[in-house]
Structure 1
Amino acid sequence: MIMLRAALILLFCAGTAWSHESEHKSPTPDLREQQEWGIAGDASAVTRTVEVRMLDTMRFVPDEIEVRLGETVRFVVRNEGLMMHEFVIGTQADNKAHAALMLRYPNMEHEAAYMAHVAPGGEGEVVWHFNRPGEFEFACLIAGHYQAGMIGVIRVVGK
């Protein structure tokens, strides 16, 4: 199953056009596809904004976030470091597989509504609608960052 997911991620990433050397400030509206952890949100439906700082110590602040089932959240992610970072929402299995691919292909280009690539000193955002309960991850999947512990938890709890 993990090999299948890794192959699908590689296939998805092969057809996208995102470079980690660039900055991305908002999700692309045409990337609304249901995921296990929710679906890209509509900015007009945002009920709350959560600010997340990304640090060169390979940490997010905060690293635990609780949201309500049905909530649409705007994540404003600020890179306070001197190196590129990203904010990617997913399941632990998906993020782990994607992080392994990034180790093999560090310049791999990709883009999705559930990720923001943020240059040093920059800011990005992800608007996400949490329509599935559970515990999910947000992580930096740049080669070595996930392995160094740049991971956070999103808990989606009942209304």
Structure 2
Amino acid sequence: MSSFRMILALAWVCAGVTHAQAHGEKHHAATQVVKEQKDWGIAGDARQARRTVVVRMGDDMRFQPGQLTVRRGDTLRLQVHNDGKVMHEVVIGTPAENAKHAELMVKYPNMEHDEPYMAHVPPGQMREIVWTFNRPGTFEFACLIAGHYQAGMKGLITVEP
């Protein structure tokens, strides 16, 4: 019986250690940015950001500034401030991708998403996006919360070759 209790205790300890490691790995994975190439670029490394742009948004459904110009290969740190009283977000993408995503947000307003090119910004707070614009073109940053995009809450990003 003593051996059985010892094995049971050892199994319990091992299970606890495994659980702690799995939890630790999950927590660690949640803080890592997945770098997936998109048409509008790829998640950037904050150490490579040579330029910081402050973008302000408010309940007037506008971004300030409403247009950005970057050079191909630039890694930009966007500091996005919500000066309004309601939740806003910023999502970088192609106009077509953002329009499609905005339609989904109308159908599923509580849809949760977390990508390195998106930031939910509660009222009075600031979030950052670090993004490398490695493809030339005209892209968009927008608030896709239901009704905000439709009210014109979007801006343009021009990536020059």
TM-score bucket (shorter structure): 0.7 to 0.9
| Greater gyration radius | 2
Conserved in 2, the CA contact under 8 Å of 1:92 and 1:137? yes
State the match for 1:5 in structure 2.
none
Equivalent in the alignment of 1:135: 138
- C-alpha contact (below 8 Å) 1:28/1:113 kept by paired residues: no
Distance 1:29 1:135 in 2: 28
1:69 aligns with 2:72: yes
* Paired amino acid for 1:100: E
Q: Deviations over 1:43-68 (max 9, x none)?
A: 01001000000110000000000001
Would you say how many aligned residue pairs link Structure 1 and Structure 2? Answer: 132
User: Which TM-score applies when normalising by structure 2?
Assistant: 0.80
- Which of 30, 33, 37 is 2:33 aligned to? 30
The residue that corresponds to 1:156 in the other structure is 159
Q: Confirm whether residue 96 of structure 1 aligns to residue 77 of structure 2.
A: no
Identify the structure with the greater helix proportion: 2
- Aligned CA distance change for structure 1 residues 86 and 28 (closer, same or farther; 3 Å): farther
Q: Which amino acid aligns with 2:135?
A: R
The question of 1:122 aligning with 2:125 is answered yes
Gap runs ≥5 in structure 2: 1-29
Q: Distance in 1 between matches of 2:121 and 2:58?
A: 11
Match of 2:58 among 33, 55, 78: 55
- Distance in 2, matches of 1:99 and 1:113, equals 17
Distance 1:56 1:68 in 2: 30
Cα separation, partners in 2 of 1:36 and 1:107, compared to 1, 3 Å: same
User: Which has the higher relative contact order, 1 or 2, with Cα contacts under 8 A spaced 6 or more apart?
Assistant: 1
Kept after mapping to 2: 8 A contact 1:74/1:128:
yes
Aligned counterparts of 1:89 and 1:150: Cα–Cα separation in 2: 12
Normalising by the residue count of structure 1, what TM-score does the alignment of the two structures yield? 0.81
**Do 1:46 and 1:71's aligned partners in 2 also have CA atoms closer than 8 Å?**
yes
Q: Give the superposition deviation at 1:31.
A: 1.9
Verify: 1:113 aligned to 2:107, yes or no: no
After superposition, what is the alpha-carbon deviation per residue over 1:16-59, rounded to whole angstroms, capped at 9, x for unaligned? Answer: xxxxxxxxxxx953321000000000001001000000110000
